[in-house]
């Protein structure tokens, strides 16, 4: 039995920030696999499973819009639990995506942290039940928290029809995922990004496995 899922996601705005842009936020043309994984994890995640993105269907034309937003200079952390918004507020421009819709195809793998009660059927059915009811552990978002995700489970075969993105589109190098290196205290010591050369063929991006990129 296969444990693949298909989830339709859509929203008014999205910003999948390119890491090379240091000051102003500039979005990738489409949702990144790591962002897609984050959406699935918002619906159901346990240490026993790891979500893997297989492909992303881009259902709407790629449209950019420039907006200006207030942001704070620093992030909250264990060492800095309080942020003085009035002192750290900064007005920044962002180039974001407008009116987006995708279908995420993915599956999960069992990890070495699974227990005796962790069976693939159990986690598969939990995800299906939550997706059908519109339930999530926290609100999924498109890149930043102010851009919420609407979602619904796709239970039928994806209809093959004329795409808004015919042919082959080279999207350049895109963030696939990140590896977090921890220190002896369990704190993040280093973050290693992994990239892949993304191509959209007739509106579909085939996502490589992380092990194919890292060797």
pTM: 0.86
Q: What is the pLDDT of residues 51-87, one digit of tens each?
A: 999 999 999 999 999 998 766 665 555 565 665 556 6
Please give the pLDDT value at position 79: 61
Region at 9 (left for phi over 0; alpha for psi -120 to 50; beta for the rest): beta
Q: How far apart are CA 90 and CA 121, in angstroms?
A: 48
Residue 205 CB neighbours (<10 A): 25
DSSP secondary structure code for residue 138 in this structure: S
Ordered domains of the chain (ranges, CATH): 4-160 (3.30.70.2660)
Q: How confident is the model at residue 98 (pLDDT cuts 50, 70, 90)?
A: very high
Q: What is the pLDDT of residues 145-172, one digit of tens each?
A: 999 999 999 998 877 677 899 999 999 9
Residues 172 and 198 sit within 8 Å (Cβ to Cβ)? yes
Please give the pLDDT value at position 138: 94
Q: How confident is the model at residue 120 (pLDDT cuts 50, 70, 90)?
A: very high
Least confident of 3-12, 36-45, 161-170: 161-170
Please give the pLDDT value at position 190: 87
Nearest CA to 131 out of 15, 41, 205, 37 is that of: 41
Q: How far apart are CA 163 and CA 201, in angstroms?
A: 10
Residues 188 and 181 sit within 8 Å (Cβ to Cβ)? yes
| CA angle (39, 41, 47) in 5-degree steps | 165
């Amino acid at each position: 039995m296969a444990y693949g899922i298909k989830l339709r996601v859509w929203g008014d705005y999205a910003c999948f920030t390119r890491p090379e842009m240091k000051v102003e936020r500039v979005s990738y043309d489409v949702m990144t696999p790591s962002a897609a994984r984050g959406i699935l994890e918002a619906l159901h995640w346990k240490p026993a499973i790891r979500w893997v993105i297989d492909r992303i269907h881009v259902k709407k034309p790629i449209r950019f819009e420039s907006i200006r937003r207030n942001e704070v200079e620093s992030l909250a952390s264990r060492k800095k639990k309080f942020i003085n918004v009035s002192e750290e507020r900064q007005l920044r421009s962002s180039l974001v995506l407008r009116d987006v819709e995708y279908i995420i195809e993915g599956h999960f793998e069992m990890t070495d942290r699974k227990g005796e009660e962790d069976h693939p059927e159990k986690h598969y059915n939990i995800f299906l039940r939550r997706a059908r009811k519109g339930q999530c552990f926290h609100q999924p978002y498109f890149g930043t928290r102010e851009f919420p995700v609407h979602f619904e489970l796709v239970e039928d075969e994806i209809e093959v029809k004329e795409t808004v993105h015919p042919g082959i589109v080279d999207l350049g190098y895109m963030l696939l995922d990140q590896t977090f290196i921890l220190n002896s205290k369990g704190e993040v010591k280093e973050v290693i990004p992994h990239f892949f050369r993304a191509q959209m063929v007739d509106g579909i991006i085939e996502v490589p496995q992380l092990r194919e990129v890292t060797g």
